[in-house]
Amino acid sequence: TSLRKHPSEHMRSNLVMIVAGTRPEAIKLAPVFWWLEKIGVDYVFVWSGQHYDYEMSRVFFEQLKLPEPDVFLEVGVQASNVSEQVGLLIQKIAGEAKKIQPSFVYALGDTNTTLAAALASAHVSRPFVHDEAGMRSFDMTMLEEVNRRVADAVADLRLAPTKLAIVNLLYEGVPRSSIRLVGSTAVDTLIYIVSNKLQKEEVLSELRVEPDSFILVTLHRRENLVDERLHLAISALVEIARAFPDFKIVFPVHPHTRKRLEELRLYRRLERDNVVFTKPLGYLEFVALLQAARAVITDSGGVQEEAFVLGKRIVTLRRTTEWIETVVLGYNQLVGLDDVGEVVKGVVAAIEGRPLPVPDLTRSPLGDGRAGRRVAKIIQTLLESGIERRGDEFKIPILTKEGSDVSLCFSADGFPVVENVSTYCISRERIIPETLRAVIEVNWEEVDRRM
């Protein structure tokens, strides 16, 4: 039985307000909702409507049994550009938070909805919990990098999916008491579907593709949809389709990409027997394709994670990734979208490479499939014990050698001379590739024992 009530009945009661509004958030929040229901935690679910097409939102509610939102904001349809979208999102989410007065607000990831949830929480003085905290691509031209940095800065508690995410946060001066390691909930959703064999394999025959003889492509990042890069991506796909006539290319097209391909009249160039376009697919169909694909070409964050968990070779159409572990472990190549030859070379290597093992989940750097349980338990604990807005964040790290007095020296240009950042046992510079492999693994059993 559901504990959930109408939002007006929630006033002054002890509950969390969960905010989401896009495809990846729907998919990644599913396990959090499953666990909240299981352990009997009350929540209000606000769906921003940033994504609004059936294929980008509703389908995931149906397939992953997400709860009906208590509040539906329909921001996506109203906004005509990013600034307007973010403005409306902040205004409307803040309005709801003011009405509902939750104990705290929880959101995940790096979308405009996440950013707005973080800022709205600050505006109405509610504590904010950010999941998928500490992810960094170190590329501030990506809106997502801006969003996640702001969300992390505003957050009162930060749930990190990986150990490197913790390093990133510490390196930015975030106190360790505000961070928990939970893993990525994307792993939970995927493992649940695959281990219960819920993926829809019929999609293979519907699209007339055979296992292991096609490449799955997704492309939607705003910075990759500019004329030059989109032209380049299509040229690379044409070359790959020509070079591997026995292979198919399956490309479920994000609505934004569809719009851009139409504007640039690029669809024509890919009219070939071995190129299959589809509308965005449901998660169960998409997972079936991922599992059967020989390799994956993508600029998506979530798809990189999922392809890694399934042991697929990934060619990432970006110069950086926040899921650096997938690169370190040899599953992912970052090729960017600046040179057709480089993309094609990457894809050839992926197709011709020997199969890679499916990673052992118990020590997997991205999570063991139990992140949703950890998140739900943390939410439960916070509701019981309370959470305050932190006012004392970002203290100047003590820049001194261990054991010695604070010694902050300045050079002639006015900058402090940093001898040793002893507050952290690892800093980014000290992580060298050979040791990285060992560093990124997580003993999840131990994490749970200490939680």
Residue count, binding to ligand UDP (CB under 6 A): 16
Of 111 and 162, which has the nearer Cβ to ligand UD1?
Answer: 111
d(CA 388, CA 189): 30
Decide: is 302 part of the binding site for ligand UDP (CB under 6 A): yes
Q: Annotated catalytic, 10?
A: no
Strands 43-47 and 16-20: parallel
Minimum distance from residue 145 beta carbon to ligand UD1 (Å): 10
Binding to ligand UDP, residues 197-226 (CB under 6 A) = 218, 220
Decide: is 367 part of the binding site for ligand UDP (CB under 6 A): no
Minimum distance from residue 424 beta carbon to ligand UD1 (Å): 29
Minimum distance from residue 22 beta carbon to ligand UDP (Å): 7
Q: Of 21, 24, 365, 369, which lies in the binding site for ligand UDP, with binding defined by CB under 6 A? A: 24
Decide: is 369 part of the binding site for ligand UDP (CB under 6 A): no
Minimum distance from residue 255 beta carbon to ligand UDP (Å): 10
Residues within the interface to ligand UD1 (CB under 6 A): 22-24, 50-53, 56, 76, 85, 110-112, 143-144, 220, 222, 254-256, 259
Binding to ligand UDP, residues 177-196 (CB under 6 A) = 186
3-state secondary structure 141-202: CCHHHHHHHHHHHHCCEEEECCHHHHHHHHHCCCCHHHEEECCCHHHHHHHHHHHCCCCCCH
Burial class (CB in 10 A: 0-12, 13-18, 19+), 115: buried
Minimum distance from residue 128 beta carbon to ligand UDP (Å): 20
Q: Of 27, 307, 327, 439, which lies in the binding site for ligand UDP, with binding defined by CB under 6 A? A: 27
Residue with tokens 């993508």: 298
Of 111 and 304, which has the nearer Cβ to ligand UD1?
Answer: 111
Of 70 and 325, which has the nearer Cβ to ligand UDP?
Answer: 325
Decide: is 23 part of the binding site for ligand UDP (CB under 6 A): yes
Among ligand UD1, ligand UDP, none, what binds residue 312 when CB lies within 5 to 8 Å by partner kind? none
**CA torsion sign, 422 to 423 to 424 to 427?**
negative
Among ligand UDP, ligand UD1, none, what binds residue 367 when CB lies within 5 to 8 Å by partner kind? none
d(CA 75, CA 47): 9
Decide: is 21 part of the binding site for ligand UDP (CB under 6 A): no
* Selected catalytic residue, list 220, 231, 254, 256: 220
Strands 128-131 and 214-218: unpaired
Contact 367, 260 (CB under 8 A): no
Of 56 and 344, which has the nearer Cβ to ligand UD1?
Answer: 56
Give Cα 30 distance to the centre of its chain. Answer: 13
Minimum distance from residue 432 beta carbon to ligand UDP (Å): 29
d(CA 215, CA 248): 6
Listed in sequence order, the residues at least 6 apart from 225 whose beta carbon sits closer than 8 Å to its beta carbon are: 219, 256, 257, 260
CA 12 to each of CA 16, 105, 157, 249, 436: distance values in angstroms, whole numbers, following the listed order: 11, 14, 22, 53, 47
d(CA 407, CA 429): 22
Binding to ligand UDP, residues 241-300 (CB under 6 A) = 252, 280-281, 283, 286, 300
Listed in sequence order, the residues at least 6 apart from 416 whose beta carbon sits closer than 8 Å to its beta carbon are: 399, 408, 409, 410
Instruction: Give the residue numbers marked as catalytic.
Output: 220
User: Contact residues for ligand UDP (CB under 6 A)?
Assistant: 23-24, 27, 186, 218, 220, 252, 280-281, 283, 286, 300-303, 306
